[in-house]
């Protein structure tokens, strides 16, 4: 273990034998430390003096895995179904498929999808293996953050303790639950991990490996484009700039990636359109969008400081938006003051403080809806990398406290770490399955139409129809044009035998669905099924033919048309459609049932 860890340490500086060795003779050495670094007496080093380096690392890794270990029992949740269970790039990967944008969301993350595909190849569709990889990645990111912060804060004699405290807080903070416990949060883990590795290698003049790690980070998630400003600000704050060609290579790779992303995404960045319900900021004029985005930014700060109420969703109408200065200006003024303080720290070479601000502010730069609108108004997973800056800030404040009272400081650290860890463990339970997740979401953000709608669908699956009806009605009161709520409410009404009301809701849902999207395909097939139930077979066939023409890869359209053709007595056409459905989705139960019926010799009931 020592040999392998020392090899890793080679990228972060010269080998050190224990966590406390750097603190010996601290009072004598502190006089030589430049401005901008924290200088204290040698008391802080005594606590860790006897701990060897491998124990510091082992403790960080153990705590990170222990706190989030109960997530291993969790099921697939939320967007896992879209990106893993029913994603052909994961279930049947190909080189071409990996380097194409996702059909439904237009995201381009080949490295993330490759790791998910490898998970599926190794362990099938069981969630345990996916959660295990996420857990290991979070532990690895924690270690990389520790090594990076230590390297960034050198030659401060307190560098190791500050890095250790910051990394430990990062390991246990509950705002990371969505990134770790949600399998699709892997894009955040990969992007952050390879970005930190690239930064660490950049500091040690390992140019080629740094560029490789940066490229992998970009191909994991587009938010990794912030590496260039982070590297520039970090080098400036430390007073150790690199040769200009070094930044030129990073800039060139960033520009090449953005150009490729623009082309792959079809002449845009991100989704083809931003749904109002997902991000109501996107429809606001730029000035109001920015002012309200700054209000949302302070909500992130609040969750970092006091993560008591966490949610997997903040879509419409969970966050109230304003157009008056009384509600928007205070947050804008406060943000301007924070930015001014950060600029002051940077210019006066208060390096550690400037670095904390840079990681937090730059980390949020592309996801905060300030410069460009994104696909979501707010998401806790988006705080994964920026939270490293917050944890560093807390560590810097803590070490000032340690200067005044060592015992009190360590007591505060232990209590704070334990409280955050316990909150993370409890929060992991919310991610056990979709029912527990959406139930928690409704409690925390009762104004979210999507949370009520999602919980209603879970009640529908559990055959708790009255509870489902109540949640659908709540969702539609909040957002009357919710396509998904109309869709599933229509399915509920069909189960209750209210066929005409079901037909009305399903027709309205399809009219609200963007043509060519997965939601449109889903709506079209459900409407066709209701038309078939009402014996309007010609209308159903016309609708299914059109959907198959526009979306030939949608298996449910083929299997529904197979059932309709069987019902019309067209057995061979029904067989061909069912076989096509199974080629597209081998688990399509409707097609399997129909083929079994067609292959049987005796009469049987109609396929379901």
Whether residue 35 lies inside any domain: the answer is: no
Q: Do residues 167 and 240 share a domain?
A: yes
Q: Inform me whether the pLDDT recorded for 587 exceeds 60.
A: yes
Q: Do residues 418 and 439 share a domain?
A: no
Q: Do residues 332 and 443 share a domain?
A: no
- For 25-31, which contacts have Cβ atoms below 8 Å and span 24 or more sequence positions? 26/157, 29/157, 30/157
The predicted model scores a pTM of 0.85
Query: What is the pLDDT averaged over residues 235-255?
Result: 93
* Tokens encoding 471: 């949640």
User: Which of 78-87, 299-308, 522-531 shows the lowest mean pLDDT across its residues?
Assistant: 78-87
Q: Do residues 424 and 439 share a domain?
A: no
User: Which of 13-22, 210-219, 363-372 shows the lowest mean pLDDT across its residues?
Assistant: 13-22
Q: Do residues 350 and 441 share a domain?
A: no
CA distance 307 to 338: 21
Q: Do residues 10 and 101 share a domain?
A: yes
pLDDT one-digit tens code per residue, 58-85:
999 999 999 999 999 999 999 998 899 8
Query: What is the pLDDT averaged over residues 523-531?
Result: 92
Q: Do residues 520 and 385 share a domain?
A: no
Last residue of a domain, one of 402, 428, 454: 428
At 5 the pLDDT is 39
At 421 the pLDDT is 97
Q: Inform me whether the pLDDT recorded for 23 exceeds 70.
A: no
Last residue of a domain, one of 428, 454, 484: 428
Q: Do residues 482 and 570 share a domain?
A: yes
Distances from the Cα of 149 to the Cα of 62, 174, 296, 372, 468, angstroms: 19, 21, 28, 30, 49
What percent of the chain has a predicted confidence (pLDDT) above 90? 72
Q: Do residues 306 and 377 share a domain?
A: yes
Distances from the Cα of 423 to the Cα of 68, 391, 429, 607, angstroms: 11, 16, 10, 48
Last residue of a domain, one of 428, 447, 478: 428
Query: What is the pLDDT averaged over residues 472-491?
Result: 93
pLDDT one-digit tens code per residue, 90-123:
888 888 888 888 877 788 999 999 999 999 999 8
Whether residue 33 lies inside any domain: the answer is: no
Collapse the DSSP code of 479 into the 3-class scheme (helix H, G, I; strand E, B; otherwise coil) and give the result. coil
pLDDT one-digit tens code per residue, 428-441:
999 999 999 999 99
Q: Inform me whether the pLDDT recorded for 507 exceeds 50.
A: yes
User: Which of 88-102, 196-210, 300-314, 574-588 shows the lowest mean pLDDT across its residues?
Assistant: 88-102
At 317 the pLDDT is 92
Q: Would you call the peptide bond into 155 cis, given omega within 30 degrees of 0 as the criterion? A: yes
For the chain, what is the domain count? 2
Phi, psi of 16 (to 5 degrees): -125, 140
Whether residue 199 lies inside any domain: the answer is: yes
Whether residue 359 lies inside any domain: the answer is: yes
User: Which of 101-105, 179-183, 204-208 shows the lowest mean pLDDT across its residues?
Assistant: 101-105
At 54 the pLDDT is 78
Count, in order, helices (H) and strands (E) of the chain: 30, 0
Beta carbons within 8 Å of 2's beta carbon, 6+ residues apart: 54
Whether residue 32 lies inside any domain: the answer is: no
Domain range holding 300?
2-24+44-428
Q: Do residues 198 and 221 share a domain?
A: yes
Whether residue 473 lies inside any domain: the answer is: yes
* Residue 57: exposure state from Cβ atoms within 10 A (0-12, 13-18, ≥19): buried
Whether residue 522 lies inside any domain: the answer is: yes
Q: Do residues 420 and 486 share a domain?
A: no
pLDDT one-digit tens code per residue, 263-303:
887 666 666 678 899 999 999 999 999 999 999 999 999 99
CA distance 322 to 297: 15
> 459: pLDDT confidence band, cut at 50, 70 and 90?
very high
pLDDT one-digit tens code per residue, 345-358:
999 989 999 999 99
* Residue 161: exposure state from Cβ atoms within 10 A (0-12, 13-18, ≥19): buried
Beta carbons within 8 Å of 491's beta carbon, 6+ residues apart: 460, 502, 506, 526
At 267 the pLDDT is 62
Query: What is the pLDDT averaged over residues 535-540?
Result: 92
Whether residue 39 lies inside any domain: the answer is: no
Q: Inform me whether the pLDDT recorded for 12 exceeds 60.
A: no
**What's the Rg (C-alpha) of the chain?**
27
Q: Inform me whether the pLDDT recorded for 164 exceeds 70.
A: yes
Query: What is the pLDDT averaged over residues 13-34?
Result: 38
Q: Do residues 206 and 241 share a domain?
A: yes
- For 592-597, which contacts have Cβ atoms below 8 Å and span 24 or more sequence positions? 594/559, 594/562, 594/563, 594/566, 597/566
């Amino acid at each position: 273990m020592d040999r392998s860890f020392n090899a890793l340490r080679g990228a972060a500086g010269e080998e050190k034998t224990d966590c406390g060795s750097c603190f010996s003779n601290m009072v004598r050495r502190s006089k030589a430390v430049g401005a901008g670094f924290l200088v204290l007496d040698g008391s802080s080093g005594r606590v860790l003096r006897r701990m060897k380096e491998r124990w510091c690392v082992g403790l960080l890794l153990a705590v990170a895995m222990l706190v989030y270990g109960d997530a291993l029992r969790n099921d697939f949740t939320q967007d896992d179904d879209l990106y893993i269970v029913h994603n052909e790039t994961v279930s049947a990967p190909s080189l071409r498929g990996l380097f194409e944008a996702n059909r439904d969301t237009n995201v381009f993350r080949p490295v993330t999808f490759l790791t998910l595909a490898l998970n599926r190849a190794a362990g099938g569709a069981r969630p345990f293996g996916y959660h295990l990889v996420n857990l290991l990645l979070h532990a690895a990111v924690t270690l990389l953050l520790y090594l990076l912060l230590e390297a960034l804060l050198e030659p401060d004699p307190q560098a190791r303790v500050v890095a250790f405290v910051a990394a430990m807080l990062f390991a246990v903070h509950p705002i990371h639950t969505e990134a770790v416990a949600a399998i699709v949060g892997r894009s955040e883990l990969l992007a952050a991990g390879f970005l930190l590795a690239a930064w660490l290698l950049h500091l040690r003049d390992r140019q080629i490996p740094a560029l490789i790690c940066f490229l992998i980070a970009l191909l994991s998630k587009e938010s990794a484009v912030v590496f260039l400003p982070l590297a520039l600000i970090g080098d400036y704050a430390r007073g150790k700039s690199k040769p200009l060609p070094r930044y030129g290579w990073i800039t060139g790779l960033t520009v090449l990636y953005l150009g490729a992303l623009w082309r792959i995404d079809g002449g845009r960045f991100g989704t083809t359109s931003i749904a109002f319900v997902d991000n109501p900021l996107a429809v606001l004029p730029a000035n109001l969008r920015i002012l309200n985005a700054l209000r949302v930014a302070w909500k992130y700060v609040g969750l970092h400081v006091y993560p008591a109420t966490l949610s997997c969703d903040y879509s419409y109408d969970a966050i109230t938006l304003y157009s008056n200065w009384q509600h928007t200006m205070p947050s804008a003024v406060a943000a301007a003051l924070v930015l001014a303080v950060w600029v002051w720290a940077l210019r006066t070479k208060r390096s550690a403080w400037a670095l904390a601000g840079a990681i937090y502010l730059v980390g949020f730069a592309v996801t905060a809806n300030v410069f460009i609108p994104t696909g979501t108004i707010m998401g806790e997973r988006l705080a994964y990398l920026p939270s490293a800056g917050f944890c560093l800030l807390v560590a810097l404040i803590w070490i000032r406290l340690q200067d005044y009272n060592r015992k009190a400081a360590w007591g505060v650290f232990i209590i704070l770490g334990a409280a955050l860890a316990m909150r993370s463990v409890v929060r992991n339970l919310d991610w056990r399955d979709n029912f527990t997740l959406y139930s928690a979401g409704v409690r925390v953000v009762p104004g979210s139409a999507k949370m009520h709608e999602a919980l209603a669908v879970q009640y529908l699956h559990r055959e708790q129809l009255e509870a489902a009806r109540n949640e659908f009605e709540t969702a539609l009161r909040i957002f009357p044009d919710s396509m998904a709520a109309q869709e599933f409410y229509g399915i509920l009404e069909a189960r209750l035998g209210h066929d005409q009301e079901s037909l009305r809701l399903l027709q309205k849902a399809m009219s609200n669905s963007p043509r060519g999207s997965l939601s449109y395909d889903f709506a079209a097939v459900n409407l066709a099924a209701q038309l078939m139930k009402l014996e309007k077979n010609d209308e159903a066939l016309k609708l299914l033919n059109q959907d198959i023409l526009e979306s030939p890869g949608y298996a449910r359209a083929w299997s529904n048309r197979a059932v309709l053709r069987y019902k019309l007595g067209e057995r061979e056409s029904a067989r061909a459609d069912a076989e096509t459905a199974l080629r597209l989705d081998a688990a399509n139960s409707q097609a399997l049932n129909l083929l079994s019926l067609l292959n049987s010799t005796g009469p049987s009931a109609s396929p379901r």
